[in-house]
A and B are shown apart, each in its own frame.
Chain A
Amino acid sequence: MNLDNNLQNNLAKMKELLNSDDVIFFNLKVLSSDAVCIFYDHLEDKALLGKQVLEPISLMENKKSCKEILASITLPEGEILSSIEGCVEKITFGDTILLIDGFDEAISVACKKHATRTVAEPPTSTILKGPREGFVESIQTNLSLLRQRLKSPDLIYKKFTVGKYSSTVVGVLYINSIADKKIVELVIEKIKNINVEGVSDSSYIAKCITNKKASLFKQVNSTEKPDILASKLLEGRVGIIVDGSPIVLTVPYLLLEDFQSSEDYYSNTYRANVSRFLRFIAVIVAILAPAFYVSAQLFHLQLIPLNFLLTIVNSIKGIPLSPSAEMFFTLLIFEILNEASIRMPRYVGIAMSVVGALVLGDTAVNAGIISTPTILIIALSGISLYTVPDLMESLSVLRILFLIVAGTFGGYGILLFSAGLVIYLSSLESFGVSVTAPFSPFILNDLQDGFIMTFFDDMKKRPLTLKSKNSVRRRFYNVQTKQ
């Protein structure tokens, strides 16, 4: 529907489409003609509107065209619109529309007001050394945080709108001279094809752009920190930033990424390697310790060293539950405590810890319902799980599956399930890249930042797994000056 010269006609059509009490129709005179400013009450910075838009217009003397009026406005984002739908869309995005009688066009200016929290350290990725800034819910703030770190015109931001009702702004970020064009195009195509009613968080986008929807493992990585996003973009990955979400997505995803922490690169390389090794061991302990304990008790008691076996036998004497039922029961308590501790108000947390650790744990052991080795194993497994927090969701499910298999088929079941897992993971891809790289497919260069991390100086090439346009990070290193 096109706008016409009559203000009242245009206004009637607009009111029909914007039938909401928080839409402001502000009547005023512009160049001695009737005019109306239309905007959503809470989205607009009214002081900015008055100062930068209405004041310059009021100073104009002769009747001019919309183009000339727009030129007099001292705001950078402005546009001339000729359709009713275009005007409505702009208003829903937080812009102000100025309709003037006698003009068949409208002027749109962006003087939005963003309610956003301040930049703070994200609770999901706290570190001892390194930048503490975290993303917030405003896409503008997040982009500014990234641009502060990557001051290059090569950093490209492509904007899209997703969601029938939410019209959420989704941006694709990449470094033009590094990122693989095919991956960028694939990401853009997938985002364009998303058909949802609303996008509450970036995780909706992650679910929409993955190939294997029912996969236990994620195929899109995420970060809450601009320094991590900048590093990932420099490696050749593509970022997906969503308005209203502090979590920025990155693709392609490699399983190895979850074992890498930003702190590894900021601290001593030797310590970083120890930490990585510990994370790897912790993951194995987290998913396999309960399963091995149950299978050993049920099927292979002979495998346990004698002294350890005697300790276990003393502890499990009189326990009414079977080993697998006991382990499941303890795991259930742990998962309930875990779930409750995440959702409960913070001030109840201390009471919860007392109830969980002392009342449930200690009393259950004293009452002879569960044994101390079981509690020890679940506690060890539970703590180990959080050494790789980004994999926690998948690993906690795997732990349960391994436990079921161990209780049913014993140690050989664990072996077979592991084989199935290896095949499953080897066939899993994220945007054309195998998630198990650089181990499968084996890429020697990328092992420099694998389970063992080489020195920063030696990482001269970007990960070859990501097929970046320019694989060389730097051709030479700064010449060292004699001290």
Chain B
Amino acid sequence: MYKLNSRQLCFIIITTASVSKLFFLPGLIAGIAEEGLVLSAIINYIIDFIFLAIILKVYKNEENFSFYDMLETTYGKLVSKAIITLYALFFVFKVFIPMIEEKNSIELTFYETQPNVLTYIPVFAITFYVSLKGVKSFAKSMEIVVLLFFAGIFIIYLLSFNVGDYDNLLPFFSQNPKSIFEASFKTLLWFGDPIYILFFLNEVKKDKNMSVKVIWSYVFSALIIIATLIIFYAIFGSIAKRQFYAPIKMSKYSITLSNIGRFDYVGTLLLSFASIFLIAMPLMFSSSLLKRVYNFKKGYTAPLIINGLALSLTLIFENGFFEILKWFQNYGVYILIVFTYLIPLTTFTFYRRKNNATQKN
């Protein structure tokens, strides 16, 4: 069986953990926390880093790390199968926001006038193909995508970093802590990347320095987002809350564009390209989880079910995006907390207890 190497995992983390927070998050977090947007993001990152550290500690202690085996050992076959099925559904749920973000950012960039079905169907055709090909092809693709992502973010930074007024971020600590924490809570949906790392660790070759590499990759991704938030708020200040799809808005005020044309589109295009892989990743996991539980004979059955479900849900709910987003922020976030943090943490705890008890006996 193909095992990912640590470099591939790092590239996946850097790309997906960054691109997922680039489009909608800056406007949303600025809307609540205003100058304190960076602090709000840091709070969420602290939670994720603590959780990531726990995952990596467990990974280090286990000779053959497998979250699936842990679930089975802890809860038994039947319950673990139910939990894995729920995770498969959770990953479908995780796709909704990046999918709509991608669709809207493309509409803004390309002035796309096509019916939504014509946009969604090809996206899910690609995600179906990724799910079919599995983690090996995905990891190898990400080694190319990471280069394009860097090129995209570099273009956006280059065109935007000197446009803003960095005084907009001052006074840095003036914001009411309540609004900072509220912003953190309401944007938690865009975080929780360690859950993907947890599932990827099942597919990775054991590496002595894995923990260090993973942590640094996540730090690097966090720095990209913090830099984006700073530049974004420096450019827009108090009107930042109305500026969704940050990369598209940030770079268009550069004086360079009047000389060489809308070069910023290249950057946005490259980020949208990376975003396709962000959408594909949870669906790929979801398909492989479903295949694991139900052991389908044909390789395409699970990807077909999952991608079909994701497409149907997106088509049904896409018109009420802002209403659904509100629901996600108020209630959906609890689902995220349960699946991203609670289930893994309780599993680790019970697994350890069970292991200790077995060793004593």
Interface residues of A, Cβ cutoff 8 Å to B = 299-300, 302-303, 305, 409-413, 415-416, 418-420, 422-424, 426-427, 434, 436, 439-442
Contacts and interface: CB of A to CB of B under 8 A. Distances in A.
Contact of B112 (A412, A418, A424): A412
Given A426-B137, A440-B140, A441-B143, 8 more contacts: A299-B114, A305-B262, A409-B122, A412-B119, A416-B125, A423-B138, A439-B144, A440-B141
A423 B129 contact: yes
A410 B123 contact: no
B197 interface: no
A410 B144 contact: no
Contacts of B273: 415, 418-419
B276 A416 contact: yes
Interface string B127-146: 00110010011101101110
B122 A416 contact: yes
Nearest to A434: B140
B114 A409 contact: yes
A360 to B, nearest CB: 32
Contact of B123 (A416, A426, A427): A416
B314 to A, nearest CB: 15
Contact of B110 (A411, A418, A441): A411
Contacts of B304: none
B12 to A, nearest CB: 12
A440 B145 CA distance: 10
Nearest to B8: A441
A426 B5 CA distance: 15
Nearest to B107: A412
B72 to A, nearest CB: 30
A427 B110 contact: no
B126 A416 contact: yes
B112 A441 contact: no
Interface string B1-23: 00001011001000000000000
B144 A426 contact: yes
B265 interface: yes
Interface of B is mostly: helix
Q: Which 3 A-B pairs have the closest CB atoms?
A: A426-B140, A440-B143, A427-B137
24 contacts: A299-B110, A299-B111, A299-B112, A299-B114, A409-B118, A409-B119, A410-B112, A411-B269, A412-B110, A412-B112, A412-B272, A415-B269, A415-B276, A416-B123, A416-B126, A418-B273, A422-B144, A423-B129, A426-B144, A434-B140, A439-B144, A441-B5, A441-B143, A442-B7
B352 to A, nearest CB: 35
B277 interface: yes
A426 B141 contact: yes
Q: A413, A419, A424 — which one has the most chain B CB atoms within 10 A of its CB?
A: A419
Q: A299, A305, A410, A436 — which one has the most chain B CB atoms within 10 A of its CB?
A: A410
B262 A427 contact: no
B143 A413 contact: no
B265 A303 contact: yes
B123 to A, nearest CB: 6
Nearest to A442: B143
Nearest to B137: A427
B358 interface: no
A263 B111 CA distance: 45
A403 to B, nearest CB: 16
A342 to B, nearest CB: 33
A55 B216 CA distance: 83
Nearest to A419: B276
A440 B126 contact: no
A433 to B, nearest CB: 12
B140 A302 contact: no
Given A415-B276, A439-B143, A302 B111 contact: yes
A239 B144 CA distance: 29
B113 interface: yes
A292 B141 CA distance: 23
B280 to A, nearest CB: 8
A383 B165 CA distance: 47
A419 B122 CA distance: 11
B141 A422 contact: yes
A299 B113 contact: yes
Q: A299, A305, A412, A441 — which one has the most chain B CB atoms within 10 A of its CB?
A: A412
B315 interface: no
Contacts of A410: 110, 112, 114
Nearest to A415: B273
A441 B106 CA distance: 30
Contacts of A418: 273
Contact of A440 (B122, B144, B261): B144
Contacts of B137: 423, 426-427
Interface in B139-170: 140-141, 143-145, 147
Contacts of B144: 422, 426, 436, 439-440
Contacts of A420: 125-126, 129
Contacts of B112: 299-300, 410-412
A321 B133 CA distance: 40
Interface in B1-55: 5, 7-8, 11
A423 B133 contact: yes
Nearest to B140: A426
A413 B122 contact: yes
Nearest to B142: A440
Contacts of B122: 409, 412-413, 416
A133 to B, nearest CB: 37
A439 B147 CA distance: 9
A303 B262 contact: yes
Contacts of A422: 141, 144-145
Contacts of A413: 122
B207 to A, nearest CB: 15
B123 A305 contact: no
A471 to B, nearest CB: 18
Contacts of B143: 426, 439-442
A463 B259 CA distance: 43
Given A299-B114, A412-B110, A441 B265 contact: no
Nearest to B130: A423
B98 to A, nearest CB: 14
A436 B8 CA distance: 14
Nearest to B7: A442
A381 to B, nearest CB: 19
A303 B138 CA distance: 31
